[in-house]
Amino acid sequence: MDALHATGIRFAEVLQSGPPWLEKFWISLTSLADPKCIFTICFPLAYFLDRKVGVSVLWIGLVSEWLNVVLKWFLFGERPFWWVHESGFASKERVVLRQFPVSCETGPGDPSGHCMITGAALWPLVTALMALASKHSRSLVAKLSPFGAYALLLLALGLSRVFVLAHFPHQVVSGILAGAALGWGLQAHTPAARTPGFFVATALALLLSSLALHSLLIAVGIDIDW
């Protein structure tokens, strides 16, 4: 793993050596694409356009947020900002990295929550836009443009997370793959006919189950708060 982490640090150095305008872009993207935006921006917009799509975005966002926390507890995953010093890597080799206000994230880093939750929750919106494009155009480019935009967004978001030293590249890749798979798998199982009370109860159940799992892991001697 040290070799993988070292490669990730060098990749982050390359990203940070880019032009100033690109730096502003990475920082803005990692801030604007916070998973909370799925619930505060993407869900209301999707719901306004199509109720079923909106509910699907909400449902997948809810489940993927919970699952990301659970996966991080079991996969752990170092954060570049902390690893480069705690591992002694910075004392052995010359490292040229900069710190940003959003760099000091704590807790396990694998998989990337930004990539996983965004990738999962936007999947139903992307498929809806692809279906809409297919109705109004026979052009293959037009039909696939929503998916192309989706892929480019996740790629850029992943690079931004590496740039600010919040994640290693392999954590970003695992987040993107897990998010796309989760979105694809859950879209067909969206409880669109359920009442708002169902979603409140589900959110409460997920919260309580995560607290219970946290307590259980601590009880058996696994320090997930390291």
Catalytic residue among 5, 85, 136, 167: 167
Please enumerate in sequence order all residues whose Cβ is within 8 A of that of 173, keeping only pairs 6 or more positions apart, or say none: 158
Tokens of 132: 């809409």
Catalytic residue among 5, 85, 114, 189: 114
Distance between start and end Cα atoms, the chain: 18
167 is catalytic: yes
Residues 96, 13 contacting (CB under 8 angstroms): yes
C-alpha closest to that of 95 among 21, 24, 13: 13
What's at 200, amino acid-wise?
A: V
114 is catalytic: yes
In terms of Cβ atoms closer than 10 Å to its own Cβ (0-12, 13-18, 19+), residue 21 is exposed
Tokens of 143: 């039909």
Residues 134, 72 contacting (CB under 8 angstroms): no
Maximum Cα–Cα distance for the chain, whole Å? 59
**Catalytic residues, which ones?**
114, 167
